[in-house]
Chains A and B, each alone.
Chain A
Amino acid sequence: MRAKRPDLPGTGTARLAPDMAEAMEARSHAPRAPGAYLALTRDRARTFGGRALIFVLTLGAAMLCALPFILLSGANLAVTAEAFFNGALGSKFAVAETLVQMIPLLIAGLAVAISFHGGLFNIGVEGQLIFGGLVAGVIGAEVNAPPLVLTALCLLGGIAGGAFAALIPALLKAYRGVHEVVTTIMINFIAISVALYAVSPAGPFVSATQPSATEKIPREARLSMIWDGTRLHFGLIIALLTVIGIWWLLYRTPLGFRIRLLGANPGAARASGVSVPRITIATLLISGGLGGLAGAVQVLGVYGRFFDAFSAGYGYDAIAVALLAALSPIAMIISAFFFAMLDSGAVQMQAVAGISREMVGVVSGLVVAFVAIQPAILHLWARLRQKTAQRRDRNITSGDPA
């Protein structure tokens, strides 16, 4: 932090013209017309409505395109749908399992979203998640500390591990302009290999009793269960708090503003004094840290130890989660829940209706595709409406009511 010495110029505080400050002061005390509030509310409702519509349209289109594959695998649609809903929401246990699935997707989705906000494509969330999980698992197994302290250490270690995995891509991007897509994907492979090695028979952290895993974390140091008789753990609260934190970071802090400005127009960011390398590094480290947190929460909440295949590709699904939510942290709760439903419903679908679990991958791929072509869809939509309007006009002018 720069010291604040208002009498010297250039000391870390933006200048504001005194008459501007006065005008703002006057305005903040002036009563507001109720009409203005009404207009604001209406605008917000409209924006919200528009976003919701896009969300539903994108999902609907992806599901529709997945339909032929389901039919091709020879399933009965009604049975499939029923199995799916039973699996995802059918019972207390099913709902809890869906929520358990949602936790890593949500945190990892935030990791992807914050990098996208900064105009950076962190494709390495999977690697950061694995690395974070490994660090958390190792700390939990090897460090002696009182339970809650150990939990905190594991979570912080996870965040640090994820951030560490993002560090090299961040530095390369900031100072050498190396594209982060390439480097983060490469780090994915490294992270996976390191994790495999760490718990391989010759690895330093492998458990004495269980191959491919670390020793167990003491039960008291794991995340506590928050719903009796289910596997739902405290990670849900952590995930929701993270949502609020990231929303606040993005929209209510100077750092978040700089991240968004950098993403929206790097030229304007630079010209207004944003240090592009610094914000690039910060963004990627936060993103990596979130990825690591997702891994640590999964290790601490679900398995109680790290094992080499603990991630079911959450870091990749997170890309679809973030895109479907249009990068909005709040909307991500819904999109993560949706993908979690797919995941947990798919198990039942496979068991009852004989549909492969890989269907989830198909749908999430389709979602990414449809988000990518959203502008084209919106254009088509506008054209369709235009056509209808023209037809209506013609009918009116020719006096022929349709």
Chain B
Amino acid sequence: MSAPSVHKAAAIRLTGIDKRFGAVHANRAIDLSVAPGSIHGLLGENGAGKSTLMKILFGMIHADEGRVEIDGTPVAFRSSAEALSAGIGMVQQHFSLIPAFSVVENLIMGRARGSVLSRLTRKLDLKAAAERAQELSDRFGFGIDPLAKVATLSVGARQKVEILKALWGGARTLVLDEPTAALSPPEADELYAVLHRLRSEGTTIVLISHKMPEIMHLCDRVTVLRDGAVVGEAELAGQALDEPAVRQPIEAALVNMMIGRDKPELPERAPLEGPVILDIRGLTDGTRLGPIDLKVHGGEIVAVVGVEGNGQSELVELLMGLRKARDGMIGIDNHNVVDWPTQRRLDAGLAHISEDRHATGVADTMSLIDNASIGFVDGAPFSGSPLSLSQKQRRIFTEVLIEQHKVRTPSPDLPMASLSGGNQQKLVVGRELARAPRLMIAAQPTRGLDIGSTVAVQDALLRLRAEGNAVLLLSLDLNEVFAIADRLVVLRKGRIVGTMQSADFDIDQIGRWMSGAVEHVATKPEETDPQTLEAAS
């Protein structure tokens, strides 16, 4: 049904879309046509111009040139509100929900119609809206409580609310900008089912993603952007993609179009022996986490996996000194840092790639130079005394980061917000690597990165390990865990319920641990003698 035909009116047709941001040519004369009732993939490196193109379609930013047609009629949206009423919904790369509001309040926000007077005087019918939200949620099997506060929802649930929000006005065309970047695999699977259902009901979907398996699984057709221009298209519908022999060449060709070369491979790794760097004993915050025991050696990458909300964020906050420990100790290089303030821990060799970049990693309104300097303003590198902070050194530092980590930007003086999502992540990762960490806490380090950059970051973590440092990896992506971790521990309800060496990685066992199916069988590491643990590693 979804075979696109050039004769049928396209659901979306973009012609000659061109957009510049100062020196950046974000979109170069892009032509794109999406068949009705299909899922169309949009691929490309970080900064290729995918989000920009879709924001133009959605009326959020205005193209310098080019035309937009919906179902064959030319349109010129002045705002996203107009795009919404024309039946286009978009889920942004970053969450746009207001945490303090309930789900249904978020859904109806900004959707009032009619004159100003009627909007001011009409009663807000939350109850009807909540019923409608429940209905929608049930139809797609979201299982979301419309009256729940967004702040209390998991990331996966928030993503679903974002989709509800986009569909709320009866959107027939849905744009999703990296919707699964923050989701765990099971949550992503649920989302895939929803997208299939939407397509079968005739909704046209544009999907931006860096995840090849997802693209292969969902898309009928894909368009690849590079440097703001279309460099290729491919038809996926009707191909026998279940056959590796069919799938692999297509995948390789797409990767090649995206990054101009084959997918880079990670180097082989051999087990390394090193002294204990991170030594957690009996650590607990008294509520959500622990007590737990965990050792990470130099030359070791230990992954912490588990369903979101089982104590991962608490563990990171405890390690960073952002949350008070009720009991226990945190040893880093033989110093008990449990009472140290965050600053001192950083100076002692801790680094942290934060899971929620916008909340704790960067300051959107500050320049790249300022963002690169976060956590670097003490002492030698840039500040000889409390009275000076070298602008020149900071600029050079930022330029080196930009160059080494291939951050795409015309100038380090621009605000962070002008970078594409993936490029922001690259700058943050580069900054944290530049701390020469003894212990790197990497929470979702490759979130939102393109294929090339993902491998580059994983490679950088492996290099840290090769230099004898320790890495604590928090990742929702088990493929990433399998690719670089030496050992994994499973966190459930704030406890470590299982641990496994890379040679024995067993996805089913991990799944059972994560879901609690075998809780009674799981070893409880906090009761095992630390010595045996060491011997095993």
Partner of A268, one of B361, B380, B396: B361
Asked if B374 and A268 make an inter-chain contact with CB atoms under 8 angstroms apart, the answer reads yes
Contact (A40, B413) CB under 8 Å given A14-B375, A24-B400, A271-B322: yes
A3 to B411, CA, bound (A): 37
Which residues of chain B are near A251, meaning CB under 8 Å?
391
Instruction: Tally A residues with Cβ within 8 Å of B.
Output: 48
Q: Does A142 contact B (CB under 8 A)?
A: no
Asked if A16 and B378 make an inter-chain contact with CB atoms under 8 angstroms apart, the answer reads no
Asked if A268 and B393 make an inter-chain contact with CB atoms under 8 angstroms apart, the answer reads no
A386 to B392, CA, bound (A): 39
Encode contact with B along A202-240: 1 for CB under 8 Å, 0 otherwise: 000000000000000000000000000000000000000
Asked if A14 and B399 make an inter-chain contact with CB atoms under 8 angstroms apart, the answer reads no
Asked if B389 and A257 make an inter-chain contact with CB atoms under 8 angstroms apart, the answer reads yes
Asked if A261 and B376 make an inter-chain contact with CB atoms under 8 angstroms apart, the answer reads no
Which residues of chain B are near A254, meaning CB under 8 Å?
377-378, 383, 386, 389
Contact (A20, B23) CB under 8 Å given A12-B379, A265-B364, A271-B320: no
Q: Is the interface of A mostly helix, strand, loop or mixed?
A: helix
Partner of A40, one of B343, B377, B411: B411
A19 to B197, CA, bound (A): 52
Number of residue pairs spanning A and B whose beta carbons lie under 8 angstroms apart: 154
Contact (A253, B366) CB under 8 Å given A12-B347, A17-B435, A267-B360: no
Asked if B396 and A24 make an inter-chain contact with CB atoms under 8 angstroms apart, the answer reads yes
Asked if B23 and A271 make an inter-chain contact with CB atoms under 8 angstroms apart, the answer reads no
Closest A residue to B337 by beta carbon equals A10
Asked if A16 and B434 make an inter-chain contact with CB atoms under 8 angstroms apart, the answer reads yes
Q: Does B346 contact A (CB under 8 A)?
A: yes
Contact (A265, B340) CB under 8 Å given A18-B436, A256-B389: no
Which residues of chain A are near B465, meaning CB under 8 Å?
none
A18 to B366, CA, bound (A): 27
Encode contact with B along A272-285: 1 for CB under 8 Å, 0 otherwise: 11110000000000
Asked if B361 and A271 make an inter-chain contact with CB atoms under 8 angstroms apart, the answer reads yes
Q: Does A33 contact B (CB under 8 A)?
A: no
For window 148-196 of A, CB contacts with B under 8 Å fall at: none
Asked if A271 and B373 make an inter-chain contact with CB atoms under 8 angstroms apart, the answer reads no
Q: Which of A14, A24, A251 has the most CB of B within 10 A?
A: A14
Q: Which of B321, B354, B396 has the most CB of A within 10 A?
A: B396
A116 to B380, CA, bound (A): 29
Which residues of chain A are near B362, meaning CB under 8 Å?
265, 268
Asked if A252 and B349 make an inter-chain contact with CB atoms under 8 angstroms apart, the answer reads no
Contact (A9, B389) CB under 8 Å given A14-B378, A16-B381: no
Asked if B400 and A20 make an inter-chain contact with CB atoms under 8 angstroms apart, the answer reads yes
Q: Does B359 contact A (CB under 8 A)?
A: yes
CB distance from B467 to the nearest CB of A (A): 10
CB distance from A277 to the nearest CB of B (A): 11
Asked if B400 and A14 make an inter-chain contact with CB atoms under 8 angstroms apart, the answer reads no
Q: Does B264 contact A (CB under 8 A)?
A: no
Encode contact with A along B447-487: 1 for CB under 8 Å, 0 otherwise: 00000000000000000000000000000000000000000
Partner of B386, one of A28, A39, A255: A255
Which residues of chain B are near A16, meaning CB under 8 Å?
376, 380-381, 434-436
Closest B residue to A17 by beta carbon equals B436
Q: Does B154 contact A (CB under 8 A)?
A: no
For window 322-351 of A, CB contacts with B under 8 Å fall at: none
Closest B residue to A275 by beta carbon equals B341
A390 to B63, CA, bound (A): 11
A43 to B411, CA, bound (A): 9
Closest B residue to A255 by beta carbon equals B386
Which residues of chain A are near B345, meaning CB under 8 Å?
10, 273
Listed from nearest, the 6 A-B pairs whose CB atoms lie closest are: A13-B379, A273-B343, A9-B348, A10-B348, A264-B363, A17-B436
A–B complex contacts, Cβ < 8 Å, 18 sampled = A9-B347, A10-B340, A10-B345, A12-B347, A14-B375, A17-B434, A44-B413, A254-B383, A261-B363, A264-B364, A265-B359, A265-B362, A265-B364, A268-B359, A271-B320, A271-B361, A273-B321, A383-B78
- A24-B396, A254-B377, A261-B374 are known; give 4 further A-B pairs, CB within 8 A: A16-B380, A253-B383, A260-B370, A265-B360
Measuring CB to CB, which residues of chain A are less than 8 angstroms from any residue of chain B? 1, 4, 9-18, 20-21, 23-24, 27-28, 39-40, 43-44, 46-47, 251-258, 260-261, 264-265, 267-268, 270-275, 382-383, 386, 390
